[in-house]
């Protein structure tokens, strides 16, 4: 339970930071004057999109927190059987890290007006993201080949559930990334693309964090990390 409370507290802290960063906690009725954007009648579309994405990510985080809670509750029953994690999972993790890093570099290049490096970063991110998906399919096939299907035991079922749900969000991220790549290769000015790249980068960074949290849970490191952190801050 302490693990779940820690995760939910982390989600609340991230949400609060997000709202503060995008000025959603400010009091516009106490501000003097009229903002330039309001005077021109321009809607803060980028800010609204970021806040909407932040709310969406908070919901995703809460969903995975609930699944993690169910995981820890279920593993206490007698029919729970741990199984060795395929080594390919760590290769897939490297692919996801590479995707997130390449996308972040592409965003920096786009802000600096470096067209070719930004395009290269987007292509690398797309390839790494697709490699992660195919790697996960290979992991599932590997488990099935050794008799660990979805219904083999509750531990394996939760593994498929957690990694499968994360994979669905990865597919959504690949679709958004495909639109970004298409726009980058059909334009010589990346400035209009920067808001979309920012949203895409934030989303993929979040998916990386969720994946690392899933690994912590299924590898059995969660309790050790909580104990270690409590000792450090006590």
Domain spans in the chain, listed from the N-terminal domain onward? 2-232
Count of other CB atoms within 10 angstroms of residue 175: 9
Cβ neighbours of residue 47 closer than 8 Å, sequence gap 6 or more:
22, 23
Characterize 98-124 residue by residue with b for buried, 16 or more Cβ atoms within 10 angstroms of its Cβ, and e for exposed.
Answer: bbbbbbbbbbebbeeebbeebbbbbeb
* Angle 71-216-227 from CA coordinates, rounded to 5°: 95
For 116-154, what is each residue's pLDDT tens digit? 999 999 999 999 999 999 999 999 999 999 999 998 899
Q: Give backbone dihedrals phi and psi of 35, rounded to 5 degrees, phi first.
A: -60, 150
Which of the 8 DSSP states describes residue 153?
-
The dihedral built from the CA positions of residue 215, 221, 226 and 230, taken in this order, carries a sign that is: negative
Q: For residue 180, what are the CA distances in angstroms to 62, 95, 107, 176?
A: 28, 19, 11, 6
Rounded Cα gap, residues 85 and 5, in angstroms: 26
pLDDT for res 41: 38
pTM of the predicted model as reported, rounded to 2 decimal places: 0.80
The topology (CATH level 3) of 2-232 is 1.20.120
Rounded Cα gap, residues 194 and 37, in angstroms: 19
Q: How many residues in total does the chain contain?
A: 234
Burial of 198 (0-12, 13-18, 19+ CB in 10 A): middle
The dihedral built from the CA positions of residue 141, 143, 145 and 147, taken in this order, carries a sign that is: negative
Q: Is the pLDDT of residue 44 over 80?
A: no
Between 189 and 145, whose confidence is greater? Answer: 145
Pick from 16-20, 182-186, 203-207: least confident: 16-20
Between 8 and 77, whose confidence is greater? Answer: 77
pLDDT for res 192: 85
User: CA-based Rg of the chain, rounded to a whole angstrom?
Assistant: 21
């Amino acid at each position: 339970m302490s693990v779940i409370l820690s995760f939910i507290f982390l989600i609340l802290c991230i949400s609060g930071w997000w709202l503060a960063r995008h000025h959603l906690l400010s009091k516009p009725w106490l501000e003097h004057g009229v903002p330039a954007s309001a005077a021109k009648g321009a809607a803060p579309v980028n800010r609204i999109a970021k806040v909407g994405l932040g709310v969406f990510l908070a919901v995703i985080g809460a969903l995975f927190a609930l699944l993690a809670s169910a995981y820890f509750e279920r593993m206490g029953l007698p029919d729970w059987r741990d199984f060795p994690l395929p080594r390919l999972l760590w290769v897939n993790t490297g692919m996801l890290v590479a995707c997130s890093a390449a996308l972040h570099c592409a965003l920096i290049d786009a802000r600096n007006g470096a067209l070719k490096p930004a395009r290269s970063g987007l292509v690398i991110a797309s390839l790494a993201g697709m490699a992660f998906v195919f790697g996960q399919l290979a992991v599932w096939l590997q488990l099935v080949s050794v008799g660990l299907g979805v219904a083999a035991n509750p531990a394996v079922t939760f593994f498929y559930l957690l990694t499968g749900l994360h994979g669905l969000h990865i597919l959504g991220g690949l679709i958004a990334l495909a639109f970004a790549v298409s726009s980058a290769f059909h334009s010589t000015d990346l400035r209009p693309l920067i808001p979309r790249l920012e949203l895409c980068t934030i989303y993929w960074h979040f998916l990386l964090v969720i994946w690392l949290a899933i690994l912590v849970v299924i590898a059995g490191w969660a309790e050790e990390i909580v104990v270690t952190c409590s000792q450090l801050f006590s």
